[in-house]
């Protein structure tokens, strides 16, 4: 499964947020085959459509789809110089599909800014730079290595792949040298293929999470730190979310009905964990399809662009191997007509084959050989 890694300097609120994620976590009984890794927090993906389908079909059981956050351990500073735990930090980031970069944007004189700083003044932009610089330096090292190796082949042998790679490296090098992330560059489709093969850190999608004070989280637009972070994120095709880790910690300890009341009182529509989950889902290009029967209504995560057999494979590899077709309707049609029978009568029930590209909100029933 795709995962988003939570990074940040010490004392920005990462553990507080990760604890809230773990506590808000998915109901284990629903996902018996999920692996238990202490660094992974699995949450259910909030989806209003699943509630509507449950009301309509009244199944015995409803199962949301899940998303995994990974807590990235290790030391940030000096990481790119390969110092002990710093190495681990970079290696852990390399394994995740997107980065959730937590930035301190709350004033609190009781919380030091960093382990080794005596002031509590906060500077979100400097903090962002500190982490990004380590990632940029690590990428620059990878790029320089490849550059030296590929340059000659590209120049002399006229090897097509080498030329393509060299062109991408030529674009990357000056940008990284300038202290900017690879994601600030616009690449075309072919270049993106090359880029992926380089496994860089700064080309991964990023969501900056401004951790703001509990008193301000209801009105994030007024927070100067948030404005700064948003401005910076816009320059590198990154997204921004605003949460208060402390509030999330409190929410994670409440029952559902208390939760709604609490959120309303502080001026929020949903919890920060729910919002982050949706944002990360979006960041990774994920979408949801449903299976809907009397026994169970269930949401499944797939990657946008996937075809029907691969989507079937998410439920079970046998479904993919023996795939025949997918009986498909859209969520909107099912809600509009009220039953599968009515959807069929309206001529809106589709038989989709191997080449069908799944759409967010598809309701599917797979036919397969065993």
SS3 state of residue 317 = helix
- We find the least distance from the C-beta atom of residue 29 to ligand GDP, in angstroms, to be 29
- We find the least distance from the C-beta atom of residue 106 to ligand GDP, in angstroms, to be 4
Binding residues (CB under 6 A) for ligand GDP: these are: 8, 10-16, 106, 108, 111, 211, 213-214, 244-246
- We find the least distance from the C-beta atom of residue 266 to ligand GDP, in angstroms, to be 12
Q: Which residues lie below 8 Å from residue 350, measured CB to CB, with a gap of 6+?
A: 327, 328, 329
By C-beta, is 248 or 352 nearer to ligand GDP?
248
By C-beta, is 16 or 92 nearer to ligand GDP?
16
Q: What are phi and psi of 37, to 5 degrees?
A: -125, 125
By C-beta, is 108 or 239 nearer to ligand GDP?
108
SS3 state of residue 98 = strand
By C-beta, is 12 or 279 nearer to ligand GDP?
12
Give me the residues paired with residue 286 across strands: 303
- State yes or no: 40 annotated in a binding site: no
Strands 296-303 and 286-292 turn out to be antiparallel
Q: Which among 351, 370, 361 has a CA at the least distance from the CA of 291?
A: 361
Q: Which residues lie below 8 Å from residue 51, measured CB to CB, with a gap of 6+?
A: none
DSSP state of 81: G
By C-beta, is 83 or 215 nearer to ligand GDP?
215
The pair of structure tokens assigned to 246 is: 């402390």
Number of CB atoms found within 10 A of residue 4's CB: 26
- State yes or no: 130 annotated in a binding site: no
What is the C-alpha separation between 311 and 328, in angstroms, rounded? 12
DSSP state of 31: -
- State yes or no: 301 annotated in a binding site: no
- We find the least distance from the C-beta atom of residue 242 to ligand GDP, in angstroms, to be 11
SS3 state of residue 304 = coil
- State yes or no: 12 annotated in a binding site: yes
By C-beta, is 75 or 324 nearer to ligand GDP?
75
- We find the least distance from the C-beta atom of residue 9 to ligand GDP, in angstroms, to be 7
Number of CB atoms found within 10 A of residue 225's CB: 23
- We find the least distance from the C-beta atom of residue 103 to ligand GDP, in angstroms, to be 10
- State yes or no: 227 annotated in a binding site: no
Residues of the binding site: 11-16
Residues of the binding site for ATP: 11-16
């Amino acid at each position: 499964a795709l995962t988003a890694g939570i990074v940040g300097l010490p004392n920005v609120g990462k553990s507080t947020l990760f604890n809230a994620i773990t506590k808000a976590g998915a109901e284990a009984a629903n996902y018996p085959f999920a692996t238990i890794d202490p660094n992974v927090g699995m949450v259910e993906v909030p989806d209003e459509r699943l509630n509507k389908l449950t009301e309509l079909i009244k199944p015995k059981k409803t199962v949301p789809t899940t998303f995994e956050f990974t807590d990235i351990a290790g030391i940030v500073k000096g990481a790119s110089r390969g110092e002990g735990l710093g190495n681990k930090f970079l290696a852990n980031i390399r394994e995740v599909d997107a980065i959730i970069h937590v930035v301190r944007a709350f004033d609190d004189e009781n919380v030091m800014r960093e382990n080794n700083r005596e002031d509590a003044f906060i500077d979100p932009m400097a903090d962002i730079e500190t982490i990004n610089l380590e990632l940029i330096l690590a990428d620059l090292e990878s790029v320089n290595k490849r550059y030296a190796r590929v340059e000659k082949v590209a120049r002399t042998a006229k090897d097509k792949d080498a030329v393509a790679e060299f062109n991408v490296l030529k674009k990357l090098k000056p940008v990284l040298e300038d202290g900017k992330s690879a994601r600030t560059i616009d690449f075309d489709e072919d270049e993106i293929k090359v880029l992926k093969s380089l496994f860089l850190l700064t080309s991964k999608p990023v969501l900056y999470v401004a951790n703001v004070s509990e008193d301000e989280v209801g009105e994030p637009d007024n927070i100067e730190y948030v404005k700064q972070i948003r401005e910076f994120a816009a320059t590198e095709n990154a997204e921004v979310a605003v949460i208060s880790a402390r509030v999330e910690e409190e929410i994670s300890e409440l029952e559902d009905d208390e939760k709604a009341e609490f959120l309303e009182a502080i001026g929020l529509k949903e919890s920060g964990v729910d919002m982050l989950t949706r944002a990360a889902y979006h960041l990774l290009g994920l979408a949801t399809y449903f299976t809907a029967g009397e026994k169970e209504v269930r949401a499944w995560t797939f990657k946008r662009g996937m075809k029907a057999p691969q989507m079937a494979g998410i439920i079970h590899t046998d479904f993919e191997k023996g795939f025949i077709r997918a009986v498909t309707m859209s969520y909107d049609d099912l809600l509009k007509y009220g039953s599968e029978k009515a959807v069929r009568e309206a001529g809106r029930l589709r038989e989709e084959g191997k080449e069908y590209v799944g759409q967010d909100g598809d309701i599917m029933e797979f036919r397969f050989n065993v």
